[in-house]
Structure 1
Amino acid sequence: MRARNRPAAVRGSVLNLAAALWLLALLNEPFWVSLWQATGGWDAEHAAYLLTLPVFALAWVWLTLELLTWGRAAKPVLCTILVLSAAVAYFMHRYGIAFDRGMLTNVMETDVAEARELLSPSLAFWIVGFGVLPALAVAWWPRLPRGLVATVTDKVIVVSAIVFVAGMILVFQTAAYTSLFRNHRDLRLQLVPTNYLSAAHGYVKARLKPSQRLEVVSTGATRTESAAQSRRPMVFVMVVGETMRAANLPWNGYDRPTAPLLSKRASLVNFGKAASCGTATAVSLPCMFLDVGRQGYDDGLAYRRESLLDVLQAAGLDVWWLSNNSGCKGVCDRVQVIDVPAAAAKDCGEGGCTDEVLVEALKARLANVERDTVIVMHMKGQHGPAYYLRYPTEFEAFGPVCRDNALNRCSVEQVVNAYDNAVRYSDFILDQTIRELEARSDRLDTAMVFVSDHGESLGEKGLFLHGMPYEFAPQVQKEVPFVAWLPAATRVRLQLDVACLSRRKDTLSHDNLYHSMLGLTGTRAGTYRENLDVFAGCRASDVNSATRSAKGPI
C-alpha cells in the first residue's frame, strides 16, 4: 500500500530543480530586494533584460546543485544544503547581513555564549519550516536508480543545457550583465546557497594551506635609552573595545550623554573617528596588532606572524592579556593570558560576565607590577544582538530597550537605547580602569589607550550587527573610537604635547595602533614606522624643533 501511495520516481536533476526553485522563491528575499534596487525597478525599455534575471539566477543555483550532488550522496548533500540555507537565510532576513568568508570565519570562531544569544524559537521554527520539511520531502521522494554511465550522461546533458541557457542570456545581454556584476558585486554575497558555499570553499582552502613557520619580526627589538633608564615602572593599559562605534560618543558629536565619566577627564585625548581594519573581530582584532596594515592583512596571518605583543615582550616589557571575550585570534598566543571569567570561577548568568571582571583582574595585576608592563584588556563591550545583557540594570539610562535577539522585531529606538546603555557601561569600565591606575600614582607612571575593533549597524537602512564586506559596509561599521588617557606625570615623563596630539583627530586608523604603541612604550624594532606613530612629532623636543624651524634661525 505504501509503495502505491508514493509518487513516481524522478531523476536527480528534477529534485535539484525543485530545490533550486524552493531556495530562490522562499529563502532569497534579501537578494531579490537588492537586485530590484540595483536594476532600478521595472522599466519596459529593458523588459527583456529584467525578465532574464530570474532565469539566470535559477540557472546558477541549479547548476551549483548539479555539481554538488552525485550518486548515493546526492540526497544527503541536497538535504544538508536545504537546512543550512534556511539557517543562513534566517540571519540574512533578520539582520540584513551579507555572507562571505569573513562572516563564516566569525561563525566558526565564536564561542558558545555568543552563539547562544543568537538562538531563539523563531530561528527553530524557520529552520524546521524552510529547511527540515523540504529536506524530509527530498529524502522521502523516490529517486530514479541510474547506473554510473547513465548518471554521468544525465549530468552532462543537464549541465550542458543549463550552461547553454545561461550563456545565451549573457551573450544577448552582455552590456547589462557586465554593468550589474561590476557595480553590484555585493549581490553574489546575498544569493543563497551559493554565497555560503563559496565562503566555505574559501575558508577551507585558507585553513588547508601548508603550515608555515612563525614569521619572527621581534628580533633586535629594544627600548629607547630614555625608556630603559627610567626608575619608576611604567604601566601601559590597552583596552580593546568590542563593537563600539565612534558615532555614539558625545565627543564625536553624538547628542546623548553616553560617556558622562570620561567626558569630564581633562587628561583624555580624543583621536576622533578612526578607520577599522575590518567589520568583524575575526579580521580587525588580529589586523590591528600586526604591522602590515589593512591592505597587507591576510586571513589567519596573526597565527603565522609575530604581533605587537611579541615585539613588546622581546624588548623587555611584561605583557599580559586579560580576556572577557572569545579569544585573541592568535595575537596573544605567546604572552601571558588570563581568561578572566574562568579564572574568577564566577557564574555570570545568561549573558556571561560583564566587563567589571576585567577591572578586578587589572587590580590584581597592578599589585604585582615590578617593571614596565603592558596589559591588554579585551572587553565584551557592546557585542550584540543582546545588548541589554552587556550591562547591569542600574546602567539602563535610556529606554525602552530591545530585549529580543531578533532585532528587526524591535523599533530602531529600542535597539539604539539598549546599545547606548551598553556604551554608557563601557564608559564606567574605562573610568574605573583609570581610577585603578590613578590609585597607584605613588609608585607607577601609567597611561591608557582605548580603541574598538569595529562598529555596528543599529537598523540604519535595515541593517543590524556587523560583518558586512568592507567595501560595501556602512561607515558606522568601520568607524571606531580611538582615545588615550595621559595623566600629567606621564606627559612630563614622555614629553608629550597634548595640543599637538589633539590635532591628529579624525586622521587615524587601526594601521596606526601598532606603531603608536611602540612609540608610546619607547620600543624600537625593524617593523616600526615613525610616520604611522601618532605620538611621533608630538614630543616636546619635536614640537619645539618644528617651531624653531618654522620661525627660522634665532
Structure 2
Amino acid sequence: MPSTSQIRNDRTAVAAWTLSVSHPLMTLLVALWLLLFANLPFWRTVWQGVEGWDNGNPLFLLSLPLFALCWLYLLLSLLAWGRLTKPVLGAVLLVSAAASYFMHSYGIVIDYSMLTNVLQTDSGEAMELFSGRLVGWLLAVGVLPVLLLSRLQAPRRRWSRELRVKLVSMLLALACLVGIAMSQYQSYASLLRNHREVRLLLTPSNLLAAVHGYVRRELRAPQALQVIGGDAHRIAHVGAAIKPRLTILLVGETARAANFSLNGYARQTNPQLAKAGVISFSHVSSCGTATAVSVPCMFLEVGHDHYDESMARNREGLLDVLQRAGVKVLWRDNNSGCKGACDRVPSEDVSHLNVAALCGDGECHDEVLLSGLQDYLDRLTDDAVVVLHMKGSHGPAYFKRYPAAFARFAPVCRSSELDQCSTEAIVNAYDNSLVYTDHVLAQTVELLKRNGQRFDTAMLYVSDHGESLGEGGIYLHGLPYAMAPEEQTHIPMLLWLSPGMERHANLQAHCLEGLEDRALSHDNLFHSVLGLMAVQTAVYQPERDLFRQCLAPRQAFEGRAGASGAIN
C-alpha cells in the first residue's frame, strides 16, 4: 500500500494542476467560451444582419458581444447550482459543441421541430452524420473545455454566502441586459424583427428553448383519439362490370421538384417516367420541411394552416377513413416509420428484409417496397390503397440511396460533410438518387399494369418535403417553415391512371393534364384520395379534390345518385 507521504505527494501534484475559481466566475468563463467558439453561425448571421462596419452605430456594435455574454451567463446561472455546477456546465459544453457543428456545417437552426427530427432519427441515419471532422470539432469545442473545467475547483463557502454571491452576479447580468436594451432598443428591435432566425442560432439558449418546447408538447395531457369521418362509406359503383379500385400511394423522401426533368429540369432525372404517361403537377408545396411534420399532416384533413403536431397521434387520418369505408389498407415502410399516420391499419417494415440484390450495409434500396407485394395483391378481392414510404433521397449520404447501376452523373460526393464537397458532386449524387426513384416509380406502374385485368389502378407519388443542396450555405432540410427556402417546400407530385380507372371513375385525362401548373399542396391529398376511391364522408372537401373538377358530367350525376347505396 502507498505510504501516507506518497498519498500526500500525489494530492499535492493534483492540486498543482487545479485552479481555485468561484462558481460565478466558472460560469462566466464557460459562457465566454461558448460565445467565442460555439456560436460562429450566430455571429455570421448577426454581422450580416447589422451590415457590419457600415452599421453607423459603433456603440450598438460594441454592445452586441456584451449583451450576448450577459444573456448566456444568466441562462447558465439558472441551470447550474452548487455542487452540480461543474457537471451541468460540462454537459452544456458537449451538447453545444455538437449543435454548433451541425449549424456551422449544414446551415440549420435549432428549434423544437429540429430536436424532434433528431430524436426520431434512426441509428442508420444518425451514423451517416458521423465523421472524423465531427469528432475533431467535438474534441476541440467540447471535450477540451470540459477537461479545463475539471481542473477548476470552487473554494468552500457557506451556502448562504454562495447563494448571495450568485444572486448578486445574476442581478448584475440582468441589469447589464436591461441597460443595453434600453439604450439601444431600436437597433436590437430592428435586428430581431428582420432576422428572427437569430434567436434560433445562439447556443445554448436555442437548445434550452427547443428542449422546453419538446418537453411541453410531450407532457401535454393525453387526448382521446378524435374520430374523423365516422360516416365514411363507399359510393355504390354504377354498372356490374366495374372492377375493384387499387391505388398505390408512394410517399417520397426529400425529393425537390426543381430537380425533376418532368418539371423542366435540364438533366434527365425521369427517363422512364417520361415514357410512362404520368402527369406531373409542377407547383406543389409541402405541409412541413421534415418528415415528422409532413407525413402526419398530409394524411389529415385539416391542412397546413390548421395542423398541430399533437394531431399526429390523437386524430384519425386518411387511412382510418378509408379502412372504415371498407377499403383495404396496407402501409409498407422503408423509412423511419409513419409518424402516426398508419397506427391503426396493417403495416409492414421492409427496411431490414434480407433481399440480397436490394439490401446491405444495414438498409435496403426502395425497390424492396415492391418485393412480395404481388402476393398481397393476389389475395385482394376488393378496393385497396397501398402506401409505400420510400427512403428516397434522404441525405446527407445521397450516394447510398441508389444502386451502382443508377450512378448516371459523376463525380459524386461520398461524404456526409456536404460543405466539404463541391456543389457539382453533391448535385450529382442527389440527381442519381432521383434517377433511381424514377425507376422505382416506373416499376410500380408496370406492377399496376400487370394487375389491370383484375383492378382499375392508379399510382400517386408525392414527396414529404424538399432539400437544400448548398444554396445560400444551407444543406438538408428542417428549417422552420416561415424561413425555409423554396427548395425545402416545393415538392414533386406525379399521377398515373390506368385506362380502366379513367373510364370507370369517369375522369377526363385532358382535364387532369390541364392542372399540371395549378398551385396544389399536401392539403389536396386527403380529399383527392377519397374522391379517387369513391369514398363519401362529411369531412370530404370537394374543393380540395383535384379529381373533382375533372369528372365528366355523367359521373357527377351517378355519384350523387349512388350515394344512398353504400357498400358495407
Tell me if both proteins adopt one fold, taking TM over 0.5 as the criterion: yes
Q: Could you list the per-position Cα deviations for residues 337-367 of structure 1 after superposition, in whole angstroms to 9, with x for gaps in the alignment?
A: 0111345576922361000101114323222
Q: Which residue of 514, 530, 540 corresponds with 2:526? A: 514
Q: Is the 8 A contact 2:508 2:551 kept in 1?
A: yes
Tell me, yes or no, if structure 1 residue 397 matches structure 2 residue 408.
yes
Map of 1:127 onto structure 2? 138
What is the identity, as a one-letter code, of the residue corresponding to 1:526?
Answer: A
Map of 1:320 onto structure 2? 330
| Structure 1 residue matching 2:53: 3-state secondary structure | coil
What is the identity, as a one-letter code, of the residue corresponding to 2:337?
Answer: G
Q: Which whole-Å CA distance do the structure 2 matches of 1:272 and 1:363 have between them?
A: 31
Q: Which residue of 53, 72, 96 corresponds with 1:61? A: 72
Q: Which residue of 508, 523, 540 corresponds with 1:528? A: 540
Instruction: Report the RMSD for the aligned CA atoms in angstroms.
Output: 1.7
Q: Which whole-Å CA distance do the structure 1 matches of 2:334 and 2:146 have between them?
A: 39
Identity %: 46
1:83 to 1:227, Cα distance in 2 relative to 1, 3 A: farther
| Structure 1 residue matching 2:45: 3-state secondary structure | helix
Q: Which residue of 95, 108, 132 corresponds with 2:106? A: 95
Question: Bigger shift: 166-175 or 130-139?
Answer: 130-139
Map of 1:550 onto structure 2? none
Q: Is the 8 A contact 2:506 2:555 kept in 1?
A: no
Q: What is the CA distance between 1:434 and its match in structure 2?
A: 0.5
Q: Is the 8 A contact 2:352 2:362 kept in 1?
A: no
1:265 to 1:145, Cα distance in 2 relative to 1, 3 A: same
Q: Could you list the per-position Cα deviations for residues 128-184 of structure 1 after superposition, in whole angstroms to 9, with x for gaps in the alignment?
A: 221112112212211223333223212211111111111111101111111111111
Q: Which whole-Å CA distance do the structure 2 matches of 1:88 and 1:73 have between them?
A: 22
| Structure 1 residue matching 2:52: 3-state secondary structure | coil
1:354 to 1:110, Cα distance in 2 relative to 1, 3 A: same
| Structure 2 residue matching 1:258: 3-state secondary structure | coil
Map of 2:509 onto structure 1? 498
What is the identity, as a one-letter code, of the residue corresponding to 2:495?
Answer: A
Q: Could you list the per-position Cα deviations for residues 307-330 of structure 1 after superposition, in whole angstroms to 9, with x for gaps in the alignment?
A: 110000000000000000011101
Q: Is the 8 A contact 1:66 1:159 kept in 2?
A: yes
Q: Which whole-Å CA distance do the structure 2 matches of 1:230 and 1:135 have between them?
A: 74
Tell me, yes or no, if structure 1 residue 198 matches structure 2 residue 209.
yes
Superposition pairs of residues 11-160 of structure 1, within 5 angstroms: 11-43=22-54, 45-160=56-171
| Structure 1 residue matching 2:492: 3-state secondary structure | strand
Q: Which whole-Å CA distance do the structure 2 matches of 1:400 and 1:418 have between them?
A: 8
Map of 1:474 onto structure 2? 485
Q: Which whole-Å CA distance do the structure 2 matches of 1:368 and 1:125 have between them?
A: 55
Q: Which whole-Å CA distance do the structure 2 matches of 1:228 and 1:95 have between them?
A: 57
Q: Which whole-Å CA distance do the structure 2 matches of 1:326 and 1:44 have between them?
A: 46
Question: Bigger shift: 106-115 or 41-50?
Answer: 41-50
Map of 2:318 onto structure 1? 308
Q: Which residue of 457, 467, 471 corresponds with 2:468? A: 457
1:342 to 1:401, Cα distance in 2 relative to 1, 3 A: closer
Q: Which residue of 442, 446, 449 corresponds with 2:453? A: 442
Q: What is the CA distance between 1:124 and its match in structure 2?
A: 1.5
Q: Could you list the per-position Cα deviations for residues 285-311 of structure 1 after superposition, in whole angstroms to 9, with x for gaps in the alignment?
A: 111011111111112321000011000
Superposition pairs of residues 283-294 of structure 1, within 5 angstroms: 283-294=293-304
Tell me, yes or no, if structure 1 residue 421 matches structure 2 residue 432.
yes
Q: Is the 8 A contact 2:355 2:368 kept in 1?
A: no
Q: Could you list the per-position Cα deviations for residues 422-467 of structure 1 after superposition, in whole angstroms to 9, with x for gaps in the alignment?
A: 0000000000001011011111110010000000001111111001
Q: What is the CA distance between 1:273 and its match in structure 2?
A: 2.6
Q: Which whole-Å CA distance do the structure 2 matches of 1:151 and 1:229 have between them?
A: 86
Q: What is the CA distance between 1:29 and its match in structure 2?
A: 1.0
TM-score, normalised relative to structure 1: 0.95
Map of 1:552 onto structure 2? none
| Structure 2 residue matching 1:154: 3-state secondary structure | helix
What is the identity, as a one-letter code, of the residue corresponding to 1:532?
Answer: R
Q: What is the CA distance between 1:386 and its match in structure 2?
A: 0.4
What is the identity, as a one-letter code, of the residue corresponding to 1:529?
Answer: Q
Tell me, yes or no, if structure 1 residue 262 matches structure 2 residue 261.
no
Structure 2 residue runs of 5 or longer lacking an equivalent are 1-11, 558-568
TM-score, normalised relative to structure 2: 0.93
Q: Is the 8 A contact 1:227 1:521 kept in 2?
A: no
Q: Is the 8 A contact 1:351 1:389 kept in 2?
A: no
Q: Which whole-Å CA distance do the structure 2 matches of 1:82 and 1:463 have between them?
A: 24
Q: Is the 8 A contact 1:324 1:353 kept in 2?
A: yes
Q: Which whole-Å CA distance do the structure 2 matches of 1:25 and 1:69 have between them?
A: 20
Question: Bigger shift: 511-520 or 219-228?
Answer: 219-228
Q: Could you list the per-position Cα deviations for residues 71-107 of structure 1 after superposition, in whole angstroms to 9, with x for gaps in the alignment?
A: 1211111100100011111111111111111110000
Map of 1:2 onto structure 2? 13
Q: Is the 8 A contact 1:288 1:510 kept in 2?
A: yes
Q: Which whole-Å CA distance do the structure 1 matches of 2:240 and 2:50 have between them?
A: 66
What is the identity, as a one-letter code, of the residue corresponding to 1:523?
Answer: V
Q: Which whole-Å CA distance do the structure 2 matches of 1:163 and 1:385 have between them?
A: 41
Q: What is the CA distance between 1:227 and its match in structure 2?
A: 7.4
Question: Bigger shift: 446-455 or 294-303?
Answer: 294-303
Map of 2:563 onto structure 1? none
Q: Which whole-Å CA distance do the structure 2 matches of 1:229 and 1:450 have between them?
A: 30
Structure 1 residue runs of 5 or longer lacking an equivalent are 546-554
| Structure 1 residue matching 2:280: 3-state secondary structure | strand
Q: Is the 8 A contact 1:252 1:273 kept in 2?
A: no
Q: Is the 8 A contact 1:240 1:377 kept in 2?
A: yes
Tell me, yes or no, if structure 1 residue 340 matches structure 2 residue 350.
yes
Q: Is the 8 A contact 1:321 1:335 kept in 2?
A: yes
